[in-house]
Each structure stands twice: as C-alpha cells, then as structure tokens.
Amino acid sequence: MNSLNGQKTVGIFSSVGIGEREIKAFLNPCRYSWLYPLQLSEGGLMKKLLLTLCAATALPGVAAAHGFEFSQSGMAGVYYGIMETRDNNNVSNMPNRLVFRSDGNLEGAYKFENQTRLGVHADYTLVFRQHDKDYNDGDWRFYPYALAENPKYGKFTVGHTYNAAFQLHQGAQEITWIGIQDSNLPYWLTSANWVNGLKTVKFATPKSTNIMDDGRSFKFSYFTPMIGNTKFGFSYAPDNASRRGMVSRYTSYQKKEDGYTAAMQNKWNPGLGDLYTSVAYGLFNRTDNEWAFGVRWVVDKFNVSTSYKNAYIDGDKNPISTTARSPHLPAYFDNYREGEAWDFSVGYDFGRFKTNFAYLHSEAKNTRNRDDIFIQANRYSLNEYFELFWVNAYSNSKGVDRNSDNNNKGYAVITGIALKY
C-alpha cells in the first residue's frame, strides 16, 4: 500500500495516483456504496480486490470523455388506503384498497468527445389494484423515445414524452406519486368528474395546471440550453395526439389537427433563495387553446409554489359537444376544453423526512363541474433503498347536476413502503 498526499492508494491505481478517496467517489454513481464500510486495510486482500474491480467498472465513464453510458432507476411500492366517501344523500362507506405500483426508467447512450450524447430512453409504469380480477386488469405503460443533446446546443427528443410545457412547468410540488398534478387519488377516492379506466375515460374538469392535452403521445421536442437565466422548449405532436392524453399514449382517440406547445422557464436570484418561473402556451386541433404560468420559491430546505392554467376554445369551430360521440367518449367529456385550474403547495425537507401540503381547484366554465383536492404527504427514508409514505387527502367533487351519483366528497389515509432500485 502506497501513500499519496496522505491518502492510501490501492493496487494497480497507485501507479497513476488514484487514492481510496477517488475510488470511493467513483463507486457512488455505480450505487456500490454497500462496499464503503469495508474499511480497507493493507492486510485485506479480498477487500482490495473488491474495491479495485468495482472502481475499474466505474473508471471508464469517468476517466474517458466519451463512450457508452447506461443508467436505470425506479421505485416499487405497496400502498394501503382507508377512506370514507359521502354523496349528496350522505350515503357513507369506508372501504379499503391495496395498490401495487412500480415506476422506473432505462437509458442507454453514446457520449462523444465533444459531449454530444445520442441515445434512447424509456419510462415505464406498472399498476395493479386489489379490486382487479387478475393481472390482465392491471395497467402496464411503456414510453420510449430517442434523444440527442449537447451542452451548447440543447436537447432534442422524438417519441413518447410529455410536451415542453409540461416539462418546464413550475407548480405545486409533489413528494409521492399520489400527488396533486394529474392526481392518482382516484385510485382511492371517487370523483364525479374524473374516470380513468382501461375502457372508460372521462374528464369533465382539468386534472392539472399543466398543459398536457397530448399526454405522452408521439411528438418532437426541443429544449435550448440555459440562455442566461432562461430556458425555452418547443413541442410538436402530429395528429395522433390524444386530448385524453392525460390517460396514456394508448388511448385511441384521434385528433384531426396537430398540437403545438411552447414554454419558457426562468431562474432568478432575488437575494433570498432561488425563484423559478414558467410561462407556457398550447394549441390543439386549431381551436383548443391553453396557457399556464407558475412560480416556485426555494429557500434552503423550504419551498412554496403556485400555478394557474386556463383552457378556452377560439371561435365557433369545433364547439363543445354535449352528446357522446362513441362509447368511449361520455357526454360532457369535452367540458374541460373550457375550464381553469390553480394550485398551491408548501413543503419542507428535514433530510430523511420530507413533508408537503398541496391544494388544487379545478372547474369547467359555464357548468357546475368542479373539484377541490387537499393532499398532505409525508415521506421518510429508512435507508438508501427503502422509504415509508403517509398521505392524508380530502376531495370534494361536484358533477353536472345535483344527482347524488354526480356529487361526492371524502377523505383517505394512505400508507405505503417502497423500494428504490
């Protein structure tokens, strides 16, 4: 064992001046931190070999400015919720529900000497609920896309991604997947305005302050690098874009016209923390317009956010339909094409424990359809791999009329444990 600037050097790396500290730094991207406690010593031959082999696998991506890169990450968890719901007749029930969900991503790319990266990326989600009859009723979604990026020229993607407005949006923050934006709360609490099933889809009010009419349908997107304190993004979705894209790219609804989105995100330094702002606009089917803005303020471990979205139809073309066009398009499905939503959140990061409160108000114009959702979420990290969740939620949903079937409110308490991989 040799010494370099007070550091011990290991095996073949002593000849090039790589010490234990550098090798441990290389280990972190490989997620081999379980080797850290080995406390290398001169007499530990096996320990030397393990560290040397692991560092050797990490070194090429660090020592060389180019080459193949591969990354993957994800989280799989089991969540159990107890809830009480009431309709206009005060009919109450207290069901419970178990949900399994796994989200992850894979990416492979080649990095050139000029820092250009060409590769493919895929996000995936698997959901299975207690009330599903079998695994065929589960929900499996896969979103692949290709990418090309360079620090000087920006990033270009083609495939199944959210649009630029969605990706640059600043709004209510989320610390669990049961969040306030495009919320998964309907897994537990019924909404009179949102039905998100494999065969039935209905959104009578906006589900988010994000512009996401095209969901993850196939599209082309470009993001500039930071220009001063500003980043721009643009997306184009061909006419296969789905107004029900809030569900997934698998919905079959075909639009007659293309979709376009443009967004701008800024980072400011007001002297106390960092302030992030975003402005976005979307045009779908020539007449469906949406614009949104958001603000997020971060001071050390404290953050507060708010955002607003407005959707409207331009002119008399393609007016809102009041009758179902197909079995998969229920009446008043189109209502949210003219509506608005705003949200708010405040949170604090204590380190291993994080907590957040968020609120969403959503409504369709010229109707009584509206939703109010409150979510208080908590997240605790047991270690590098396991996290605990506790979510308290309340929902008040008003439908197209005062019929008890079209109005409900209730609360849910949801707990879970998840494995990061």
Q: Does 220 score more than 90 pLDDT? A: yes
* Nearest alpha carbon to residue 395 among 345, 360, 366, 356: 360
Q: Which tokens in the block code for residue 318?
A: 């393609």
Higher pLDDT, 361 or 193: 361
Whether this prediction's pTM lies above 0.85 is answered by: no
pLDDT given for residue 197 in this prediction: 52
* Nearest alpha carbon to residue 188 among 101, 123, 265: 101
Q: What is the residue extent of each domain of the chain?
A: 2-58, 67-420
State how far the Cα of 287 lies from the Cα of 314, in Å rounded to an integer: 5
Residues above pLDDT 90, as percent of the chain: 45
Give me the helix-helix angle, 20-30 and 45-63, nearest 10°: 70
pLDDT given for residue 94 in this prediction: 55
At 334, the pLDDT band (50, 70, 90 cuts) reads very low
State how far the Cα of 376 lies from the Cα of 390, in Å rounded to an integer: 8
pLDDT in tens, 54-102: 444 444 444 347 899 999 999 999 999 988 877 655 555 556 788 899 9
Q: Is 175 left (phi over 0), alpha (psi -120 to 50) or beta?
A: alpha
Q: Which CATH class is domain 67-420?
A: mainly beta
